Every structure is written in structure tokens, then in C-alpha cells.
Amino acid sequence: MIVTVTPNAALDKTIQVSSMQIGMRHRGAQSIVAPGGKGINVARALLVLQEPVIATGLAGGETGARIVRELTAEGILNDFTPIGGESRSTTVLIDPTSGGQTEIIENGPEVTAGELDRLLERLEYVARDARWVVLAGSLPRDVAEDWYADAIKRLRRTGAMIVLDSEGEPLRHGVAAEPHLVSPNQREAEALVGHEFASEDDIVAALDEIVEMGPRNVLITFEGGLAALVRDGQQTRRFLVRAPRVEILGTVGAGDALLAGYLTALCRDQDVEPALRHAVACGTASTLTPGAGRLDPRDVKRLLAQTELLEPTPL
């Protein structure tokens, strides 16, 4: 089983707006309203891939109640800790003519120390039966930036392998707590190491920089695919997986679907090479389907044969 944790869950509204221009009136062609936040997106993709998952996190107010109702209606097993504050909402505007997208993200609710403690206590309980625990997304307003680091240290005692997918200071503190895997995108990885990447070689080189900060394994997603550093037994191996070219509908949640694809393959005891290819195929497939964490397994199967995996020689 996989447990996903979304401390700053949201109700996402995704709207397709053709030829969008700021300051102009538009009519949305299609809209989807669904629970969101990185951990929830990972859980949704895992459900599509038929991998057992429990979505957890914090949820409060009518928005939080709707998040829980909608997750249950989707068939996603969930165990959210209730809070007094109102969970946030987000709006994503996708322009199918250009492939561009605009995200409007509200601040998260205020959360008390007691509510955070109750979440960790529940996580320690459910994680005892989990192979992986995925800590994902931003933290609610005014939560200490080292909260993920504390959670990693406590949850490691359960025996589960801990994945961290965040950004900024919560990511920086979290990698120092030595999670099993971190999965930043290119922008988040650049901020973590303190410099920009001008090429695929720069991205591959950054894998070692991040591993030196604490995590055992690293995935860096970028527009063209994925770079990975994986500890395979006594070996440290580096990979570059290039995604097939497709007509992208939207990229929100693509990294979450990629992570779900990777964990699914590992849970089914696939070797690292096919697991990485499956990850990229899942991430690419999600760009063809509206809504975060949504993908069509038929697209995954078709795209899998089109992914290109390389194992660069370390410089």
C-alpha cells in the first residue's frame, strides 16, 4: 500500500479557455472541479493504475468536507484529519490553442499545533502497513518550514520508505532529514542547488548535488522528461529518460502522475529501467487528459514504447 499526505489540500477548478487574453471576457469551454494538491493528485493517478492507496492530510470547513466527499465518490480511500480552518481553492486556466496555463492559488488555512500533531499520530498508525509514504505539496499558512523534516524522522520509524515532493524551504529542510526519495521539478531543483540548468548535462550533474544534501534517491522532472539518480544495491546509477513528443493539453499534475507511475512499477517489483520508463510514460499520458492526476492507461501503454532511456557516464 501507498499512503499520500497532502497537508494543504485544495478544491481545484480547471477551466479550458481558448485564446485567453488578460483583461478580456472569455467563455470556458470545459471545466472540472475536483480535490487537488500534490498528494491527492498522486493518489488519483495510483487509483487509475490500480495500485492500493490511502490519501491523507488536513481538511477543514465546507471546502474540506467537499474534498473528502469528492475523493470518496472517486473511489479514493481517504483518512483526512479535520481542522478548524477552511481548506483552500485553486483555479487553473488552460488555453488548448497554445498549451499555456495560468494557476490562481489561494493561501492555505491556519493550522494549530494540535491539529498537526493529530495528523502525525494518524500517519504513524496508517504508515505501519505501507510500503511508501508520499509527503507532497506546500504547507498551510504559518506552519514551520521544517515540518516535513520532522515528519520524515518520525515516519521513518514505521519502516515505510518516505518520498518528499515539495519546494522552497520545506524541501530544503526535508532533504536534510534523509528521505528515501525526493522528486523536484527543474525549477524546484534549481532553487535547491542555487543555480540554473542550461542543458540536460546540468540536470544530471545536479542529481549528485542534491544527493549530497541527504536523500538516498533523486528524480528531477523537466520539460523533456526525467533525470534520476538511483541507488541500486551497491551501485549508484544515473539515468536520463526522454519523453515522447505529444500535443500537450495541460501539464498540471504531470509530475504527480510521473511519481505515481514510478512507485507503481517499484511496488510490482520492476527493475529500475522499466520503472523509470513507466514513470515518464505516465507523466506524458497525463498531459493528454484534462485534470490533475488523470491519465488513460491506454495512452501509457502506447507511450511506453516511445520513451528513450539513457545511462550517462558520470563526468
User: Rounded to whole angstroms, how far apart are CA atoms 310 and 155?
Assistant: 34
| pLDDT of 234 | 84
What pLDDT, on the 0 to 100 scale, is given for residue 222? 96
**In the numeric block, which cell numbers belong to residue 252?**
498540471
DSSP result, 100-137: -EEEEEPPPPB--HHHHHHHHHHHHHHGGG-SEEEEES
% of the chain surpassing 70 pLDDT: 94
Percent of the chain with pLDDT over 90: 79
Give me the pLDDT at residue 233, please: 80
What pLDDT is attached to residue 15?
A: 72
Question: Mind listing the pLDDT tens digit for each residue in 207-242?
Answer: 999 999 999 999 999 999 999 999 988 899 999 999
Domains and CATH numbers, the chain: 2-15+31-310 (3.40.1190.20)
Give the per-residue pLDDT at 275. 98
Q: pTM of the prediction?
A: 0.92
Residues of the chain scoring pLDDT < 70: 20-21, 23-30, 96, 99, 314-315
What pLDDT is attached to residue 26? 62
Q: What is the pLDDT of residue 108?
A: 78
Q: What Rg, from alpha-carbon coordinates, does the chain have?
A: 18
